[in-house]
Amino acid sequence: MTATAESSSDLVTEPLRSRRNHWNNQVHRHAFMTPDRIAVKYLDRGTTWRELDDRSRAFAAALYRRGVRFGDRVLMALLNRTEYVEAVLGANLIGAIPVPVNIRMSPAEVAFLVHDSGAKVIVTERLLAPLADAVSTSTGAIDTTIAVDGSDIASHLDYEALLAEDPSDLPEIDVPEETVALIMYTSGTTGKPKGAMLTHTNLQAQAVTTISVSQGSSDDDVASIVPPLFHIAGLAGFAPVFYRGVRAVIHPLGAFDPDAMLDTLEREGTTSVFMVPAQWQAVCAAQQARPRNLALRTISWGAAPASDTVLNAMNETFPAALNLTAFGQTEMSPVTCILEGRDAIRKIGSIGKVVPAVTARVVDPMMEDVKPGEVGEIVYRGPNLMKGYWQNPQATADAFYGGWFHSGDLVRQDDEGFLYVVDRAKDMIITGGENVYCAEVENVLYGHPQIAEAAIIGRAHDKWGEVPVAVVVLADGVDGLTLEQLAPHLDENLARFKQPKDLVIVDELPRNAGGKVVKPKLREAYGSKDAGLAD
């Protein structure tokens, strides 16, 4: 069709806002092109693209009507549910910044996020209302509490009632791609959490990264979102979904049931899913015990180390699926490295190669590149790199020392360019002048059938300076375990200087709200040279 002068003029004067490349415009595009296709499904309720667009816009209008403006922060204390996605999109539509809250945090920890972020609004639900109210009372900073599933508390605003208000007074607001889309607080294993500022550009880089490594994609793809939406692995999972316009299935939080998970994957026709190694271990066992007819084309894991045993089980249980190892961190939106399925067996244990969007180096403490095979810290640049830490210029400067983002991950690179995580820099043990990387030892311990969980810490030693100590949780039905009983397994897999010099058996490992082992607590309890270690 030949454009008229009037239509050409319309194209020229079209608001820049409509050409922005971020997930609000992508949702709006799908709402226009495929309005009645299901965008998001949670439990038995499907939400179409038109509904997702309309409801997020209505929420944006409700926030704007109550004084929320460009750059304001909105705390998100919710379980996994469709309203989580709507609220994030609604806040972003007016340039406001959602701040996801790990719902496992204590009121004091959430209060820190309120003070640090300066949020005045909190979006929550009935189950978490006591947490939200405790934080509101203790901080005195929350002006507005919105409950997505209604509330008996008079001061709470009902989410659905807000969406029923007339949204026509919402102004058209241009939100540039470099606007902060999310403040994601890191787990803070060594100190107070830091708020990583992720921009819309960062999230679009994540979308392109994910799409580029997923082979055989089609319009009938169904992405299952299993991680908590308050983790970057959960929210960032929507970046490729919104970009492509495929259906997402949100899985509820709660005790993980591998049989229920497999039943849902089968019922929904899921083609791609990301889970952590512990979940994959349970899912593989359940699938082998009672096979389901699954449509999985891509299976991926990350967020925690996986043992060789788990990776082999994934390959054996789902041989037709592309098995991807996804590695990264919150500050990188998060994926930086991918191990593709064709290399999963011959390079088992590797995190793969750096994704095309990312530039990376492996360096020593002087920022000099190390040789292949040597251990160094991996540092990054790229469009998925965060803008910095919220109101923390010193932490930002430290993280960007030398002009590169310092991951804190110690890796080695083989002669083909494949990377292997050796440890977190702060978890390295130096014993008798030799470096012992905790992750390597933990991986060996996880391969022992009588050990369910393991953590390695350093213990002060008069002769060696420091020695490794294993703190383990035994597998179900195991009454006891000694170092002597472990010796054959350790001798087969580790040099003697790397082997634990003491074995501590506990009922459970201490974890923070993000599920990561809190090693400072283990060091405090078992790291003293007076803790009973023989010379």
Share of the chain above pLDDT 70, in %: 93
Asked whether residue 520 is assigned to any structural domain, the reply reads yes
Q: Which of 425, 459, 480 is the last residue of a domain?
A: 425
79: buried, middle or exposed (CB in 10 Å: 19+, 13-18, 0-12)? buried
pLDDT at 7: 44
Angle between helices 483-493 and 438-446 (to 10 degrees): 110
What domain range includes position 483? 428-526
Indicate if 93 and 242 belong to the same structural domain. no
Same domain for 378 and 521, yes or no, is: no
Check residue 94 and give its pLDDT.
Answer: 98
**pLDDT band of 493, cuts 50, 70, 90:** confident
| 120 and 79 together in one domain | yes
Q: What is the pLDDT of residues 458-467, one digit of tens each?
A: 998 877 778 9
Indicate left, alpha or beta for 465 from its phi (over 0: left) and psi (-120 to 50: alpha).
Answer: left
Whether the predicted pLDDT of 4 surpasses 50:
no
Distance CA 503, CA 470 (A): 5
- pLDDT of the residue at 531: 53
What are the pLDDT digits (tens) for 172-197? Answer: 999 999 999 999 998 654 557 899 99
Under the banding of pLDDT at 50, 70 and 90, the label for residue 1 is: very low
Question: For the domain that residue 478 is a member of, what is the CATH number?
Answer: 3.30.300.30
**pLDDT of 400-458, one tens digit each?**
999 999 999 999 999 999 999 887 777 778 787 677 878 888 988 999 999 999 999 99
Q: Do 77 and 165 lie in a common domain? A: yes
Please tell me whether residues 169 and 246 are part of one structural domain.
Answer: no
- Quote the pLDDT of residue 8: 45
Which one is predicted more confidently, 139 or 304? 139
pTM for the structure as a whole:
0.83
Q: Supply the CATH number for residue 355's domain.
A: 3.40.50.12780
Give the tens place of pLDDT for each residue, 336-364. 999 987 787 788 878 999 998 899 999 99
**Would 37 be classed as within a structural domain?**
no
Q: What is the pLDDT of residue 250?
A: 98
Give the per-residue pLDDT at 5.
39
Is 58 in contact with 168 (CB distance < 8 Å)?
Answer: no
Q: What is the pLDDT of residue 304?
A: 65
- In terms of domains, do 403 and 512 share one? no
Q: Hey, how many other C-beta atoms are within 10 angstroms of the C-beta on 274?
A: 24
Distance CA 356, CA 405 (A): 17
Task: For residues 301-325, give the mean pLDDT.
Answer: 84
Work out the mean pLDDT of the chain and round it to a whole number.
90
Is residue 56, in this structure, part of any structural domain at all? yes
* Residue 182 counted as domain residue: no
Residue 72 sits in the same domain as residue 113: yes
Res. 11: pLDDT tops 50: no
Is the confidence at residue 228, as pLDDT, over 70? yes
Half-sphere exposure of 393 (CA within 13 A, CB side): 0
- Indicate the range of 158-167, 211-220, 499-508 predicted with least confidence: 211-220
